[in-house]
Chains A and B, each alone.
Chain A
Amino acid sequence: MAVGIVSYDVYIPRYRLDRRLIRQAVGWVGPYVLPGEKAVANYDEDPVTMAHAAAFSCLSGKRPPEALLFASTTNPLREGEAGAIIGTALGLGPEVRTVDISNSLKGGTQALLIGLDMVKAGVKGVLVCAADMRLGRPGGLLEMFFGDAGACFLLGDTGLLAEFMGHYSLSYEFIDYRRLPEDRFVNAVEERFIREEGYGPFVIEAIEGLFKKYGVSAKDFAKVGYPCLNLAQYQAIARRLGLEPSQLESPLLEQVGEAGCASPLLILALMLDKAKPGDDLLVVGYGNGAQALWFRVTELTEGRGGKVERALKRKRALTSYERYLAFRGILPVEVELLGDVPATQAPLLWRERKTVLGLWGSRCKRCGTPQYPPQKVCVNPNCRAIGEMEEYWFADKPAKLFTYTADNMAETLNPPLIYGFVDFEGGGRFVFELTDCELDEVRIGMPLRMSLRRKFEDRSKGLVGYFWKAVPIFD
């Protein structure tokens, strides 16, 4: 039975930080220079929201998957399942099997392999999403390298864009990057050791292992892609494998940065975007060993192409390194954070999970008016029918900005807090925060789409509250 990729998409946060800004601010700490820019998650984003964003568009118009796998080394939850949050926010029902895959950088490719095995075993549709936002210490090399992104693949056995051909996986206990539960920043051992004993050899061993396993060679592949953890070693791997420069897929280091679990998935998406039918693609995930995955592109071209380019085009420069530090809470800034957050009400969040995480509202069966949050009595003044509501999903509805403000007295790490009333196409209005925009870009009437974001953090309960915000569409 052929299994493979049915749909895919990527998510790259809108803000990009020019690496020269990092150099200007903290170059005195370390003499590191890397070209280009890195993608940085907004203050209200995390791997859950980035994976959700990629999954949301990946799943658009598709049948609900039976399983959802989420891979990240920076899962915001230590205990508690991010996959369940993402699933609820995708509008999936409780039958979906949700799994979090954590801790290893190869989690992205690992999730793909597990998902493919599940499809082979008869699971109808597995959604694999991965995202990471790893933190390097200010002034360190890792900070220069790391970028934030997410990617998602829907796996299945029909309507394949690319067929899974095989893989070769290695598992090693190799000490390169490590974090203990209380660590915010990634710790690395000596860089020379990582690249010469781990990164280089493992990627090569995985690829050569796959070649040997299936009796293929480098020339059989239209594209080969693997993350870049070191510029010189990245090139050395390609030379060692005898790859032509045209065969080597960009790791997007200069546009996004090294995005952990999401990196190989981003690279695979980029390869799929540009591939011709029949192309063989090889992608490698690195981390505690390495994994090489082989896909063959099918004749099906609908739904394939332009995904990464579109995500790369949606960008705005973050013009201040300090603002990035504030987003991450590294630099405390004098904003209105009262601290006395009311205690999270677990019974409420459970009862209203579809309203809050799913952005489900109601629609009056009598007059057809959509309304959010769901009402019992119709809000249409000419109707007011009692108890005649059906569920209605707002998350996928196009919307427009009815009015807005920028509040300097609100509680946010990114003042002023921009919010406005959002009119959904087909009816329904509510007030939402706007995000991924600056005040000078906002206009009444502009088109919006809804995006899952972090809303609050309740340290006393050890949880993150998520909700939807409106994101302006600029193109």
Chain B
Amino acid sequence: MESRYNPAKNVFIDSIEIDDYIALDSSVASYKQLLHSIEKPLKMILVFGRPGTGKSILLNYLYENLKYQKDIHYFATPTTNEKEFFHKIFKVITKKDLPSNTRVNFSTLVDYCRDIHGKREIIILLDEAQMYSPEMMERIRLLSDTRSVKFIIALHKTDKEDLIAKEHFQSRIWEVVELNNGTIEDIKNYIHKKLLKKNIFEIANAIKNNHVSLIYKFTKGNYRETNKLLFTVFEICEYYDNKNKDSNDETIFSKKIIEMASIKLGFINV
């Protein structure tokens, strides 16, 4: 028989699936800000934040919500090969495939974008933009200057990427949506909403404020770290649940398990 902790564990598998999107006050505010920015005549919008603050899921959520209303395209995985990347861009803009043995004539592509200005408004969501080379970024800027293509770029907030952002986009980006780690209240709501969304009421109720405080202490409100920690927590709970099947122990989820998971993940150095 499957442990009752198994579904709870699967809830915290880190993903950017729209089903996993949790509408917290802070994330709803960021989403609204992004929607509002899209309506403005901007060339580039930067979604900026430390890893694990929800940039990818926000882009995906936006894409899923607007894909039937707007000419919107989501590039989840960065293509470091320039030829391949512009093949994809070419297809999005012209809606035609290029033979694989040909190269995109970039100036022709820019001219094409100028021609469609006012007729189409293409939105391209670029995740993990720190992976693109400065040359590719420069070409992206040239395309956005035609005002036919609007780029929404998700970028990690580290010192290095901060520099890239300054150098390549500061003068061209008109809007920045910054995502931060959650507060303790955000983390509490995040955990509970995630479990309740999958109808795991019993375990959601077992997670009290002191547990959330401990989780927050280790993850510092980072959503990815929270997912990782809770996945490991429920994995350990599953082990004890299977071990003591007959005892029907309701108190497996405890601070002890959170600390054990934190040791496992290196949050605690023994």
- Tell me, yes or no, whether A binds B: no
Binding site for B on A (CB under 8 A): none
